[in-house]
């Protein structure tokens, strides 16, 4: 007699989903990264989540610039930079510009597992070298060191104490030559020499020509050094008027501003010293007079 057989389906295992993803878990003890579900399940660009997961898996100190990320991913700079901006706007990424040793400005990138977490630590400042106690004991007192004279550094000139006309002349040199861009410290250092030239009767236009004419095609040094060398020479001679003794010439003042007048012919406003009619009305009247004479 044949054995009985049943065509009923087998009973499904309890807890196993009938559709969707089924995870096959493996317990990892090394080389893994913990990512919050809020970041992994974030709606939006998959590139953003991938960049965030990659940055989370990197050790501290690894470069995460756009160039470094483009070398790892196949996406271009536009998608990578957009992903970094989205992470920065969501609070996962923070980029700070800090000044390092020697005054070099660098960008530090901080990545947060959870937005709004603890603030990023402030980078420590470089330590100053400790003075040698033996040399410090043998060193003279500050007052005695200040009396040495030649070894003392000269005081830094202040721009607030400089002559306004000299500052204006130095600041406008870049109009005549775009290479003559001076810092505030350079202007403060050169302003006293320009003031001496102005006191000797040299006009601003002459000073500008003397400082900008005949410069080399390639400035291999700082422009302030060339200007200081030229200002160290004797001021340019100023021609004196005939029958008068040479003396300091007064700086030319601004041209007088004529008052507004109303034209007697067309009631249009124009500037004039005496008034009457505007230029167009005078031209029209002259034309009529010529036609009447003919």
80 neighbors 69 (Cβ within 8 angstroms): yes
Going from the C-alpha of 49 to that of each of 56, 79, 167, 287, the distances in angstroms are: 10, 12, 55, 81
Per-residue pLDDT reduced to its tens digit, 239-280: 544 445 545 556 666 667 777 778 877 777 777 777 778 888
Q: What angle do CA 28, 32, 36 make, to 5 degrees?
A: 110
pLDDT confidence of residue 145: 45
User: What are 187-221's pLDDT values in tens digits?
Assistant: 888 888 888 888 888 888 888 888 888 777 776 56
**Whole-structure pTM over 0.85, yes or no?**
no
Nearest to 187 by CA among 152, 235, 221, 231: 231
Q: What H or E segment, with its residue span, contains residue 46?
A: helix 46-57
Task: Provide the pairing of β-strand 93-99 with 105-111.
Answer: antiparallel
189 phi and psi angles, rounded to 5 deg: -75, -30
Range from 30-34, 116-120, 184-188 carrying the lowest mean pLDDT? 116-120
């Amino acid at each position: 007699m044949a054995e009985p057989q049943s065509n009923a389906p087998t009973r499904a295992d309890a807890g196993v989903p009938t559709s969707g993803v089924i995870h096959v878990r493996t317990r990892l003890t090394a080389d893994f990264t913990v990512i919050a579900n809020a970041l992994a399940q974030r709606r939006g660009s998959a590139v953003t989540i991938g960049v965030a997961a990659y940055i989370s898996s990197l050790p501290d100190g690894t470069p995460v610039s756009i160039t470094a990320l483009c070398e790892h991913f196949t996406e271009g700079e536009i998608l990578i930079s957009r992903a970094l901006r989205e992470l920065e706007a969501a609070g996962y990424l923070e980029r700070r510009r800090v000044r390092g040793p020697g005054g070099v400005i660098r960008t530090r990138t901080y990545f947060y597992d959870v937005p709004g977490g603890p603030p990023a630590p402030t980078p420590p400042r470089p330590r100053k070298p400790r003075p040698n106690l033996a040399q410090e004991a043998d060193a003279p007192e500050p007052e005695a060191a200040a009396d040495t004279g030649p070894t003392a550094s000269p005081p830094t000139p202040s721009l607030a104490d400089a002559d306004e006309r000299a500052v204006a002349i130095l600041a406008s040199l870049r109009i005549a030559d775009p290479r003559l861009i001076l810092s505030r410290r350079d202007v403060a250092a050169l302003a006293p020499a320009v003031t001496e030239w102005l006191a000797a009767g040299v006009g601003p236009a002459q000073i500008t020509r003397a400082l900008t004419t005949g410069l080399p095609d390639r400035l291999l040094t700082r422009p302030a050094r060339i200007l200081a060398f030229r200002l160290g020479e004797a001021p340019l001679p100023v021609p004196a008027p005939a029958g008068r003794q040479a003396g300091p010439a007064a700086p030319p003042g601004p041209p007088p501003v004529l008052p507004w007048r109303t034209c007697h012919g067309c009631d249009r406003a124009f500037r004039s010293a005496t008034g009457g009619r505007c230029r167009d009305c005078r031209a029209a009247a002259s034309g009529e007079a010529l036609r009447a004479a003919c």
